[in-house]
Amino acid sequence: MTLTTVQVAVDNATIHFDKLYSYRIPDALLGRVWPGSMVLVPFGRGDKPRMAVVLRVEELDAGAAPKRLKMLHDAAPEQTRLTPDLLELVHFLKDRTFCTWFEAVKAVIPYGAQYRAAVVDGKPVMQSRLSRSTERVYTLTGELPQKPKPGPRQKAAVEALRKGPLTAHQLDEVGISKTTLDTLCEKGVLSVAEQDKALDLFADIPYEPQPITLAPEQQRAFAALAPDLEDGKPHAALLHGVTGSGKTIVFLKLIERTLELGRKAIVLVPEISLTPQMIRRLKSTFGSRLAVQHSALNNTERLLQWRLIQQGHADIVVGTRSAIFAPLQNIGLIIMDEEQEHTYQSESAPRYDAHDVAKKRAAMENSLLVFASATPMTETYHAAESGKYKLLTLTQRYGGRPLPQVDFIDMRAELAAGNPREVSTRMIRELQENLENGEQSILLLNRRGYHTVAMCASCGHVLKCPNCSVPLVYHKPQQALMCHHCGHIVRPLPQLCPECGGKLNYSGFGTQRVEEELAELLPGARILRMDQDSTNQKNAHETMLAQFGRQEYDILLGTQMVAKGLDFEKVTLVGVLGIDSLLFGQGFRAYESVFSLVTQVIGRGGRAALPGRALIQTTVPNHPVLQLAAAQDYEAFYREEIAFRKFGLYPPFCAFCVVGFVGAAEGTVAMAAHRFGTLLAERAAQHPQIPLRLLGPAPMGITMLNGKYRYKLTLKCRNNAAFRSLLQETLDAYAQEKLPQKASVILDFNSDGDL
């Protein structure tokens, strides 16, 4: 006699007891539980119902099975089961990011497809976190009887349904009521069924396919990549082209070929603000078999889009980093546009890098993976230059258009000339010229709010968030000081120092203050501010960009969300403000980030018939990073950056791992970091073949966040199985330590210095 048992991972586990637990399958659930199934189990001494995912199913001899195995309570429907591919990605995330099993599960399926524990009639059961959104669909199944004589509405319903099934909503729009439909169903003329509600997010975008015409450089890139689509093996490539070189058109041609081969495509973009433009290009070219996945959708929308993909009704999926987990089958192409962006890295568990997941998925599906950027990550370009990826370069703008002419404005001279404002005299003059010519401008300031510092004029005290070790930022519309990390608000606005009673001075500038200055100096200008504060409403990104595209605004002022991927034919002037603070930021990627940001935003100008120009305000106009960005000389920047990385032993010459420690008492956190470092050093000494440099412990740049103190260890290592095993061994040893209090441990292989 055999018993069918399962090994499951439970929800709400900490990393220290996140192991597999065995359960029996009751007879009522036999045939319904497989690897990847979501189940409800009795857990712990109190047998509290807890969600779990099945990772293994085993047939055991009854005599060999463990004694007193608990029974599963319930199992979710088959359609919610993780496919083998998604289950493999769960294993990948668990191994690479040191998350719990269930954190990995939650990354690959949307909230609406998840279940929660409930009790119904005294019995533990699973309930969907989101009720199914369904609609009634009517199908013509017979002819309309002539006796009694049918009415005009009944005839209209039958004629409408001769073209195919329609929903109740579609029929209601043409004046056919539910009463009419019910009568026809009773007569056997129609049948009705419930199905998942369709959600066409792109109904307003016309399907207007045009031949995809490539310039000679683009054709060469496509010709080099097309064989990699066709040979059924995994490949990776970097498409590196100057801003405006037409990388998107190469994408479209690659997608067209992928669909011709009967395969499907995933297109990743780094920010929600870039999704609308990409969707418009894809829908107008390829039609409605398109789905989207990103966090701006509500839970119902995300679930319906996920089901659309799962049921095979989408050929192309576009979205931010989470779209890499879309339940798409037969993937032939994965594109990661603007691959250099930090938003491809998750900042909460599981702390994955979409680059790594995309490479894993391309290997699983035998797909072509294309990274694309005008300013690739140093690691990506190094891999391409080393032959790990195929390197394709576009050196010319599409249509032979010139790159924008770039000038610097020395803000030291501006101040000496008596202009204390944040926007220089020349910038205002050039903006005015654009207004008179009917042309548009984009201004980048990667700092939101009005004033960024409130400081006492007498004692120098800076008002900081009580929960985070950062200054509070003045937001004028709210007349309040706000923390950009935890959301703490101080209102009414303080005028006196809490330490000495002296007068508070407000200084520094953000997008709100620059918006006010522009309105004062350019009274006729229509200014659109785009930052986290102004885009927190649903569909705000799409609405604002559409308004700017229709030329309802003259100036688009914003943070980094306006710096990349946007294409407006009337934009001829780009201005860069407040860039100096980023040049001297923490982290080994600081220069790379500034070079990318400045290069990308400069590239927003002159993308059509009108030539572009750019102005960079700075106090260090001769800084080599700014000079290289102005020249759009990525190759020269890369040579400088790769030499710095090699000298300092930074990626790509090692892996860079931050082990973070978080807790309520600073002494406890510091002690935990020190003890973990000692345990790791002891174990590393036993494995001299595993390369490791251990730095710290030290406080993080922001030592307190959300009321918790934060310390770190920095590890320079090789991210391979041997090192991860060493790290897991240390985590297990730390869990056994008899410390008075322990701090939470967080591991991040994608950080450039802090969590």
List residues forming the annotated binding site. 456, 459, 465, 468, 483, 486, 497, 500
Nearest to 251 by CA among 370, 420, 381: 370
> Max Cα separation, the chain?
95
Distance CA 320, CA 271 (A): 6
The CB density around residue 681, as the number of other CB atoms within 10 Å, is 13
Distance CA 195, CA 617 (A): 57
Distance CA 530, CA 523 (A): 19
- The first and second tokens of residue 730, run together, are 């240390």
Nearest to 23 by CA among 12, 90, 15, 51: 51
Nearest to 165 by CA among 197, 185, 138: 138
Annotate 66-82 with DSSP letters as a single string.
Answer: PTTPPBP-EE--GGGSP
Peptide bond preceding 611 in cis form (omega within 30 of 0): no
Q: In what order do the strands lie in the sheet with 368-373?
A: 290-293, 316-319, 264-268, 331-337, 368-373, 235-241, 390-394
- Binding-site positions for Zn(2+) read 456, 459, 465, 468, 483, 486, 497, 500
Residue 167 burial by Cβ neighbours in a 10 Å radius (0-12, 13-18, 19+): middle
Residue 233 CA: distances (Å) to CA of 67, 324, 384, 410: 47, 19, 18, 53
**In contact, 54 and 101? CB cutoff 8 Å:** no
Residue 234 CA: distances (Å) to CA of 254, 391, 472, 753: 15, 15, 49, 33
Distance CA 516, CA 518 (A): 5
Q: In what order do the strands lie in the sheet with 527-530?
A: 405-410, 613-618, 571-576, 440-444, 555-558, 527-530
Distance CA 424, CA 577 (A): 9
Q: Three-state secondary structure along 17-57? A: CCCCEEEECCHHHCCCCCCCCEEEEEECCCCEEEEEEEEEE
The angle that helices 354-365 and 84-97 make with each other, rounded to 10 degrees, is 140
Cβ contacts of residue 614 below 8 Å, gap of 6+? 404, 405, 406, 407, 573, 574, 575, 576, 601, 602, 605, 630
